[in-house]
Structure 1
């Protein structure tokens, strides 16, 4: 036994597996006796900082001594390498290896920390994948991977794979991705974006209107505002959409002889406040009772007017001689007939736009009851056709006549010729817009039967260049007065001959001129407008040959020019001439 004890330095070796051999090649031996070896089995770490080799009991040990040892130690000595392999799950091989490599002998945690500090590892940012860094726990050099983790208690110190488990860090956990920002929703194409622009202090006029609206009951304290100023106040109130039944009373007065209201339909057009009728039937009755002496009445957008309104007006408005209504849709022919019979021969001027209930019977009552009419404007009348012109031929005192935009059958050349032959001697203004059935024969009728005509509107009528030239030549020949207001819009076939004849006949009188749609007129002919000294407003839209030099000629030769419209004149540039007080509207380059 003593001989066997002499070999005390030898270690017990048994059959080894591939894993045990691999660990032995790395200098790692299985730990015996559990996780807390006895002090005599613990040796200082090697110079490389790794755990030292564990010395085992001598190989020559008597069975008596084995029996005398504690059972725990005896079980540790009986561990075989195959048992080590069997106890390590295949899925956790890497964890077992890391645990075996990094689990030091007794007191190894403090030793390992001291070793990391002795290595002088300093905090630093994580290097690129594949670079080398020193572990912030053990001080060993390791390769940076996508799984490299930061020390949980020491910022900017990075851990090797072996040191992660003992610090409670999963070495193979994927890095948490930052929550992706929700992609902004695409704005709907039909969504309207509204931009609010600060305009600074409110205008004084708005402040005054608001004050008047709040103190409408005490409006008499303002005293006599005057008819001119009252008209301005009415225009401001209507334009700002603040006309209400309360503010409307500001415009009523017993001594008023002229009343104009520019918007009688709605108070506000905002989405939160839908269209609200301002003046209803009762409001029109109150107007007639509070303004019994009114002579001229002009109501725009009076869509809430009813049949009973006109019937009541015929009884209340004893001095009414001039009436203009825009949009009395609800008034039936019974109301018109009752009103015409009531006002009788004192009615001198009647202008009605957009009324589908007026028929031939209504016109016949109008002509019979109101023979002294000097102005008759009928536009967009639902049943207007050539038959209406037969009774109108009896109105011998007409000075201004409009029969435009018929909603039914358009007027014919023969019917218009018959009418002008009867009433054209005193006409100074004629409007036959949007009658597509009229032709060049119309110009012959006007030249023969309207010697005093100074205002003419033939918009959207198919006329030839030769016929228009002959018309103006005939007026020159018969020494007719020149035109002051002329609208030949959409004369697509009109060109230089027509314009030169027009200028020759009306160069000293023309004030307003529309040549919109004269696509074939040449620039030289347009430049001749420089000889029209009273020309204030001209529309040259879609005259394709107009250039910057054409505009310059007009500006230099027309001292009264205030507005030039040039929509569709694509030869104009940003260098178009300017003039103080002149407004040029429609330059295409300004929209780019």
Structure 2
């Protein structure tokens, strides 16, 4: 193949070319001079053989051999010579006209004939050597063309062209520069540009994957849970048998309603509830229904639920992602007696369907939803207008559009109920963006007098001011409080708040993941609610010390469940004091049933155990 490759030219070459001095004119001048010397006498014969014979012998050379000559150059630029055309004029002027050149093919043939005549005894061996030499001379003389012929794609596995050369893409036929990343076409012949190589599914610039080093076996950490295992009761064995053969629900007959909830929980462990076996839980006499995992129930199956349970007053559906507008409209019309609705994951229900449900159920007393991105302020206004007077429980957890306007609507519920306030539960946890501190304080001003349960987790704009001006000023009968993930709360502020709070002692408190809280906060909590506290969660209180933790065994006799995960000072001896006491003034928590110690590295597998107490999250080191 031919390549129109030209290298950089010097200023002298450009000047000669502008003056009309080109390789063609120089070649003609040299040929004329050689002819004149040949006609002058015998002395010019040798010159003609060495120099001037090139044009004539080139014309008489066999067509099967290619030679680099000036006559070929004169016909046009050739990629074999690259910049030889530009430099020829400068070489002609700087060097003598007669110069030693490489022997032509005819001269080489004459020399070979003479050698053969002198060495007739070695003619056969010499002939082979000369032929090899001739081939090598030809390759050396025209090595560039020979290489181009070799990798032009005629062979089964063509060699890669030189880096920097120009080549035509075998696919798009565009000219590109050859680099070390150039890839051969498959199938051949030819090579691909980088764009076509990527389009074919191969990345020419991809580095080879470094083999991964095999790591030496390290210490593995195993988590041990100490939970008391009792002999299964006859009821539990029957429930396991039913759940195992749940697909044969028609053959089971009437199993009664006493253990339906337990069977529903057992099925939720492996998502075994399907439209075929869900009819086990349906009955025209049902007033309450709970399905703990409705993942496999499509919209038509949820519609069937409403038709087969028309007298429901309480409905709970967890993981009801298939609940859409048509199914929600059936719930609105097919369950007229419904007063309590709890949904986890109603992603597909839109604003219009929510509004229709609220307007068709003015007697609704409890509305709890979690993870509903389409529930907006318009839905909230219709809920308050239609059901506000009798609403007792409201949960809007993980609602993406929750903002200060929602807090104002919640406060409006208390205004509609007047002195006979019924709203006892508010859960606005886990919003996308925190509501402002002022908006939540105004909401508590209107609703705090009747509240018994409050969850404001992850409203990260709440600080100690909210505790004093909100909870401290307006709540008196609160029993369950959850304020986790509030980074602005301080140890001193929480301790002082519980020390002066006029509210009755709490039975459940969750202040997890508030890393700034420590000794003062814990002692304030125990002083205020220790005698009635049943559930305590201080997970993530890394700075609370052992002395403050020991007061839990002294001041919380009713404690049943405690989570002290990631509290650094919890150890085996502290757990023993909580469970059985130390005999030196710490009676312990006699009603304790569950302890969570995730991340407590000082608790070992040899920690003390007590019958009826489950310990979760004990980390022990073992080498495999």
Normalised to the residue count of structure 2, the TM-score between the two structures is 0.58
2:265 counterpart SS class:
helix
Q: Residue 562 of structure 2: which of 535, 538, 561 is its match?
A: 538
| Aligned mates of 1:574, 1:589 — CA distance in 2 | 6
CA RMSD across the alignment: 2.2
Q: Does 1:404 align with 2:422?
A: no
Counterpart of 1:577? 608
Please state how far the C-alpha of 1:536 moved relative to its aligned partner: 0.8
CA displacement, residues 433-460 of structure 1 (integer Å, 9 cap, x when unaligned): 1111111112111111111111100000
Instruction: Name the structure 1 match of 2:263.
Output: 233
Question: Matches of residues 404-423 of structure 1 in structure 2 within 5 Å?
Answer: 404-407=429-432, 409-423=433-447
Partner of 2:338: 320
Question: Equivalent residue of 2:612, what SS?
Answer: coil
Aligned pair 1:287/2:297, yes or no?
Answer: no
Cα offset for 1:573? 3.0
1:185-238 Cα offsets, whole Å, 9 max, x none, are 99999xxxxxxxxxxxx9764443344422x3355x32xx33331112222223
2:134 is matched with none
Q: 1:387 aligns with which of 387, 397, 405?
A: 405
3-state DSSP of counterpart to 1:283: helix
Could you say which structure has the greater relative contact order, defined with CA pairs below 8 angstroms and 6 or more residues apart?
2
Aligned-pair distance for 1:327?
0.3
Counterparts of 1:575 and 1:306 in 2: how far apart (Å)? 52
SS in 2 for 1:217: helix
Q: C-alpha separation between the residues in 2 aligned to 1:314 and 1:511?
A: 39
- CA contact 2:239–2:262 (8 Å) conserved in 1: no
Secondary structure of 1:585's aligned partner = strand
What does residue 533 of structure 2 align with?
Answer: 510
Residues 539 and 566 in structure 1, CA contact (< 8 A), matched pair in contact too = yes
- Residue 599 of structure 2 is matched in structure 1 by 568
Contact 1:534 1:560 in 2 (8 A): yes
Q: Secondary structure at the match of 2:454?
A: strand
CA distance 1:186–1:469, shift in 2 (3 Å): closer
Change (3 A) 1:507 1:186: closer
Q: Deviations over 1:518-544 (max 9, x none)?
A: 111111111111121110111111111
Given that 1:349 and 1:374 are in contact with CA atoms closer than 8 Å, whether structure 2 keeps it comes out as yes
Separation (CA, whole Å) in 2 of partners of 1:311 and 1:235 = 27
What are the ranges of 5 or more consecutive residues in structure 1 without an aligned counterpart? 1-184, 190-201, 266-277
Match of 1:522 in 2: 545
After superposition, residues 306-345 of structure 1 pair within 5 angstroms as 306-344=324-362
The question of whether the paired residues in 2 share the 8 Å contact of 1:574 and 1:590 is answered with no
> What TM-score does the superposition give when structure 1 sets the normalisation length?
0.61
Query: 1:170-189 residue pairs with structure 2 within 5 A?
Result: none
Judged with a 3 Å threshold, the aligned counterparts in structure 2 of structure 1 residues 351 and 188 are, in CA distance, closer, same or farther, namely: farther
Number of corresponding residues: 375
For 1:9, the equivalent position in structure 2 comes to none
Matched with 2:250 is 217
Moved more, 238-247 or 293-302: 238-247
The answer as to whether partners of 1:373 and 1:398 remain within 8 angstroms in 2 is yes
**Which structure 2 residue ranges, 5 or more long, are not aligned?**
1-210, 216-235, 415-421, 581-587
Match of 2:590 in 1: 559
**Cα drift, residue 295 of structure 1:** 0.8
Does 1:347 find its partner at 2:377?
Answer: no
Partner SS state of residue 460, structure 1: coil
